[in-house]
Amino acid sequence: MTDQTPALDQALMDFQGEFLVVPLDGANEHFGSRYATLPTIVQKMTPVLRSHGLMFKSWTEVVDGNTHLVVVLLHVESQESMTSRIKLPDVNPQGIGSALTYFRRYTMLTMTGVVADGDDDGNAASAPPVRTARATRSQVQMMSREQFDALRQWASQVNLEQIFDQVLKRPATSDDMTFDEAARVLEHLHATEK
In a domain, 14, yes or no: yes
Q: Model confidence over 28-77: pLDDT tens digits?
A: 776 677 888 999 999 999 999 999 999 999 999 999 988 999 999 999 99
Q: Rounded to two decimals, what is the model's pTM?
A: 0.60
Establish if 45 belongs to a structural domain. Answer: yes
Confidence of residue 175 (pLDDT cuts 50, 70, 90): low
How many domains, in total, are found in the chain?
1
pLDDT digits (tens, 9 = 90+) for 90-121: 878 888 888 899 899 999 999 998 887 654 44
Does 114 reside within a domain? Answer: yes
- Residue-wise DSSP of the chain: -----HHHHHHHHHHHHH--B----EEETTTTEEE--HHHHHHHHHHHHHHTTEEEEEEEEEETTEEEEEEEEEETTTTEEEEEEEEPPS--HHHHHHHHHHHHHHHHHHHHT-B-S---TTTTTSSPPPP-TT--TTTS-BPPHHHHHHHHHHTTTS-HHHHHHHHHSS---TTT-BHHHHHHHHHHHHHHH-
* Domain carrying residue 164: 6-193
Is residue 1 a part of any domain in this protein? no
| Percentage of residues of the chain with pLDDT beyond 70 | 84
